[in-house]
Amino acid sequence: MQKITPFLWFDTNAEEAVNFYCSVFSDSKITDVTRYGDPGPGPKGSVMTISYELNGQKFTAINGGPYLKLSEGGQEVQCGWLKDKYGLAWQIVPPVLIEMLKDENTEKAKRATQAMHKMIKLDIKTLQDAYNGA
């Protein structure tokens, strides 16, 4: 059971971003949309919040205005992170990596961590080889 719902802040393009995210991940859907009324601060009828699920994980995006500055365009980043075209950083972590990093054998966990730090895209076989000392 999910215990928290991450909120993602956008200036004005939350709906566009959510539609994009839902197109990238299978088994994804928009579950609720709240629109600004007369009080604003956004234009009446525009999206205030949009709740959605990506592969069963719940998120909510909010059009909160230009108070937080984000970068333009997307880029791949170290350790499997991706900064998307909306400036948000994502990391999809395979469960096997979590298990390696939690191993009580700190040398094995360290080798997996060091291998991950050299990667842009996570390669499970390379991580497992490093973990196993191969």
Axis-axis angle for helices 95-102, 124-132 (nearest 10): 20
Query: By the 8 A CB rule, do 35 and 48 touch?
Result: yes
Query: By the 8 A CB rule, do 14 and 49 touch?
Result: yes
Mean pLDDT of the chain: 86
Average pLDDT over residues 86-96: 77
> pTM to 2 decimals?
0.63
Across 30-34, 38-42, 76-80, 121-125, least confident range: 38-42
Burial 38-74 (b: 16+ CB within 10 A, else e): eeeebeeeebbbbbbbbeeeebbbbbbeeeeeeeeee
**Domains of the chain as residue ranges with CATH:** 1-66 (3.30.720.100), 73-134 (3.10.180.10)
Residue 81 has what pLDDT?
75
pLDDT tens digits for range 42-85: 888 999 899 999 999 999 998 887 755 565 567 787 888 777 88
- Model confidence at 102, pLDDT cuts 50, 70, 90, reads confident
Specify the higher pLDDT residue, 87 or 32: 32
The 8-class DSSP code of residue 41 comes to S
